[in-house]
Amino acid sequence: MAIWRIYEDWVKPEQFDVYEEKVKHLADRAASAKEKEVWDAYATAVGDAGKYYYAMQAPDFTKLAAQGSAGGMIMRVFGQKEGAKWLRELLLGSC
């Protein structure tokens, strides 16, 4: 049985397009960098609009812990300076 780690993010309706563009940019950069971690992304289709979920699975807690966090993956993909800016924009809702 798989163990799951799930992150939830909420985006203001007026920021949907910009947010999705940033996430696509992250996915493209991760693929070109051959990032080992894989996150599945889901958006709410019915109910509260603007909720996005990112899920990662592993066979056990040890392997899940070894995979790291979404923030760590962002820092690896973009580097310290650009990654910190990306996370700051995400947290402040200015993306």
Q: What is the pLDDT of residue 13?
A: 84
Q: What is the pLDDT of residue 79?
A: 93
User: How far is it, in rounded angstroms, from Cα 74 to Cα 4?
Assistant: 19
Helix (H) or strand (E) holding 6: strand 3-10
Distances (CA, A) of 1 to 4, 45, 57, 58, 61: 10, 27, 10, 9, 11
Segment 9-41, tens digit of pLDDT: 888 888 888 888 988 999 999 999 898 888 888
- Average pLDDT of the chain, as a whole number: 87
- 19's CB contacts (< 8 A; 6+ apart) are 11, 52, 95
Indicate the domain borders of the chain.
3-92
Segments in the chain forming alpha helices (H): 16-32, 61-67, 70-78, 80-92
- Fold entry, domain 3-92: Alpha-Beta Plaits (3.30.70)
pTM of the model: 0.75
Give Rg (Cα) of the chain.
Answer: 14
Under 8 Å between Cβ of 15 and 54: no
Work out the angle at residue 79's Cα, subtended by the Cα atoms of residues 19 and 13, and round it to the nearest 5 degrees: 10
